[in-house]
Amino acid sequence: MFVQSVSLIIPCYNEEESIPLFLETIRPIADREPYRFEFIFINDGSSDATPEVLRAEHAKDRRVKIINLSRNFGKEHAMAAGFHAASGDAVIPMDVDLQDPPELISSFLRRWEEGYDVVIGVRRKRTADTCFKRLSAGLFYRFFNHLCGKRLVPNAGDYRLMNRAALDALNSLPERVRFTKGLYAWTGFHQATVEYDRPSRAAGNTKWNAWKLWNFALDGFTSFSTLPLRIWSYLGFAVAVLGFLYAAFLIVRTLFWGVDVPGYASMMVVMLVLGGLILISLGVSGEYIGRIFEETKGRPLYIVRDTVGFEAHETAGRADAAR
C-alpha cells in the first residue's frame, strides 16, 4: 500500500536549546499519523552548537535530515533551501521554537484530506508578542493588502501546509529578494484556514528585532506593488501644477502691482519642501533599483556546505533547483 509523505521544513539559527524540545514534541504527533514524515532542518549558519545537536538527533532518528548552509542567508532563503529539498507529497514550514503549535499538524492534514491544496495557520491570539509587535503587524497587513490588492491573510505566518502542486509552483518562482508570505498568496490554489493561539517560545531568544522587521516589510511592499513609485509621479505632477499656478500669480501681480522685495522665509520653505520631496522620491526609486540590481546578478539563493540524511541524487537535484 502506497503511503504518502509529509516534509517538515524547519529553519534554524542558533537554536541549540530548542531543537531537542521540538523533536520531543513532534515525534509523538508524527508517529500517530498515517504518513511518512521527514524533518528537514536548515542550519542557517549558526554559530552555537546547533550543527552538533542536529547530528546527534539524526543519529537517533533517521527522519531528521540536515542542510548546512555556508553562512547565514536569512530565514527566507533557508526556507527556500528546505522547499527545494523536500520530497514529501505535502510540506509544512514551521518554527523550531514551538510558537507554531505542532499539534496543529493533525488539523492541517485533515483539511488536506478534504481536498484543499493549501491549509493556512491563522493566529487567533498573539499574547506572547509585545504590544508593539502586535500593533505593527496589524498595520503591516492593512497597508500591504491596501497597496497590493488584498493578497495576504491577516495574522498568517509561514506555518501552513502546501501540497506538492503548490510547492512546485512556489519553487518555480526565481526571486532573489524573497518575501515568501507574498509568494504563497501569489501562487493561489484552493485554500483553507485553521485558527490557533500563538504561545511563547519554548527556549532561546527571537532573532527578529524592529530593524529586521522594518526591512522585511519593505521587501514585501516593493516586491508586490509599484504604487509607491506611482504616488511620487502623482505628487510630482500636483507640485508642478501648483508651481505653474503660483508662477502665473506672480506674473499677474508684478504686472499690476509691481515687484515686492523677495522674502527669505518663503524662499527657504519652498526650497526645503521641494528638496525633501526630491530626496524622498529618490530614496523610493533607489529601493526599486536596488532590487533590480539584486535580481539581475542572478546569484543562487543559498549555498549548501554539506547535508546529512539525503541520498546523492536528492543532493544533486537540490543543487540544480537552487540555481
- In the chain, what are the domain boundaries? 5-209+301-322, 227-297
Q: Please report, in tens digits, the pLDDT of each residue of the chain (323 residues total).
A: 567 899 999 999 888 888 999 999 999 999 998 999 999 999 988 888 899 999 998 998 889 999 999 888 888 888 889 999 998 899 999 988 888 888 899 999 999 999 899 998 888 765 555 565 666 666 666 666 556 565 667 677 788 899 999 999 888 887 777 777 778 777 888 889 888 887 665 555 555 555 555 555 565 555 655 566 666 666 666 766 666 666 666 656 666 666 555 664 466 556 656 766 676 777 677 777 777 777 677 778 788 888 888 875 444 444 444 44
pLDDT recorded at residue 167: 92
Backbone angles phi, psi at 309, to 5 degrees: 95, 0
Residues contacting residue 249 through CB under 8 Å, at least 6 positions apart: none
pLDDT of residue 305: 86
Domain 5-209+301-322 has CATH 3.90.550.10: yes
pLDDT at position 173 is 83
Q: For residue 85, which phi and psi values (nearest 5 degrees)?
A: -85, -20
Residue 86, judged by CB atoms within 10 A of its CB (0-12, 13-18, 19+), counts as buried
How confident is the model at residue 316, as a pLDDT?
Answer: 40
How many alpha carbons lie under 13 Å from residue 280 in its C-beta half-sphere?
A: 13
Distance CA 283, CA 228 (A): 11
Distance separating alpha carbons of residues 36 and 34, to the nearest angstrom: 7
